[in-house]
A and B are shown apart, each in its own frame.
Chain A
């Protein structure tokens, strides 16, 4: 079972912000992290991550800088900003609410699950 496109798109912002909250990272590493955490069930089209990152950067939630990797390869690194931390807190509350609402409904009808 893989997650539907809509849900992947909706969760992109909180996922990116949460991963960047752990520390500075870059596109490919973010994708890899999502793949690992979701046991490959969240299949992002890799290229779609970058427009998300750029949009968050425009909103001042994250910031980027060009740097070089340990292997000497050029890379664009992103880190979270204060705006982003605030947005992440809001996102967290919202996702918890959605999750709690669904859980309550599903606990009432356990036989159908």
Chain B
């Protein structure tokens, strides 16, 4: 049996996923679809036939999205801005996580009797690796959840995105408090010399990480460019 409401809801969801229509736009389009279906039903078409013809007459998704995007530029800008905020917030977060994690591991290693030369290798490599993993994780996340997402199940509606933004902000605050906790622990169990040795080893991070990060950014830009073109032509 053809379930009209279910199909209309599905049709509406697909339009909503593009994130260019206001809910009032969708409402208006749905009413139009139902009016049109009613008219076709009076001509003797079955519900299924009427739905197919009416949704075809309304126009295909890509064209509709394109036309609505021209009118609702303001909303779209705000949504993109939110993505930028997520990116900025995450990029503040990642180096912090990397640094805190490295600091923790280094202090642990010192306690276990690691030598100074060992720290020179451990600290830069650990910090750079966590930083790279973090950056790749952000890129993967944005690719999956933004408008570029290929599978509709991966897209999250705007409201959830807002709550995600809040969660991220809370995590960020938590992470910012982490060094404080670490400092208290360190002051209790470690000596000034231990910190001096870690600080020395950290100098190497400052030397190498800008180079590695620039290479990563260029690589990502090259990788993202064709993806964007594909979306525009589809």
A: residues with CB less than 8 A from B are 27-28, 31-32, 45-48, 50-51, 54-55, 58, 73-76
Which of A28, A51, A73 makes the CB contact (< 8 A) with B71? A51
Within the assembled complex, what's the spacing in Å between the Cα atoms of A31 and B54?
13
Instruction: Count B-side interface residues using an 8 Å CB cutoff.
Output: 21
Interface of chain A, main secondary structure:
helix
Contacts between chains A and B (CB distance < 8 A), count = 54
Knowing A50-B28, A74-B27, A76-B28, the reply to whether A45 touches B57 (Cβ < 8 A) is: yes
Which A residues touch B35, using CB under 8 A?
28, 73
| B71 / chain A contacts, CB cutoff of 8 Å | 51, 54-55, 58
**B191 → chain A, closest Cβ, in Å?**
68
A74-B59 in contact (CB<8A): no
Convert B50-76 into 0s and 1s, putting 1 for each residue whose CB lies closer than 8 angstroms to a CB of A: 000000011100011001101110000
Q: Contact at B67–A51, with CB atoms within 8 Å? A: yes
B13 beta carbon closer than 8 Å to chain A: no
Q: Are the C-beta atoms of B36 and A50 separated by less than 8 Å?
A: no
Task: Decide: A73 and B36 in contact? CB cutoff 8 A.
Answer: no
B24, B31, B67, B72: the one contacting A47 at CB < 8 Å is B67
The answer to whether B67 touches A46 (Cβ under 8 A) is no
Contact of A46 among B24, B25, B58, B72 (CB under 8 A): B58
| A46 and B59 form a contact (CB under 8 A) | yes
Contact in complex: B25, A50 (CB < 8 Å)? yes
Query: Complex formed: what's the CA distance from A46 to B35 in Å?
Result: 12
A residues near B32, Cβ cutoff 8 Å:
27-28, 31, 46-47, 50
Q: Does B29 contact A (CB under 8 A)?
A: yes
- Complex contact B27–A45 (CB within 8 A): no
Are A47 and B63 interface neighbours, CB within 8 A?
yes
* Selected contact of A45 from candidates B36, B63, B70, B72, CB within 8 Å: B63
Interface pairs A-B: 5 shortest CB-CB: A45-B59, A47-B59, A28-B35, A51-B67, A47-B58
A50: chain B residues at CB < 8 Å are: 25, 28-29, 32, 68
Instruction: Contact check, B36 vs A46: say whether CB atoms are below 8 A apart.
Output: yes
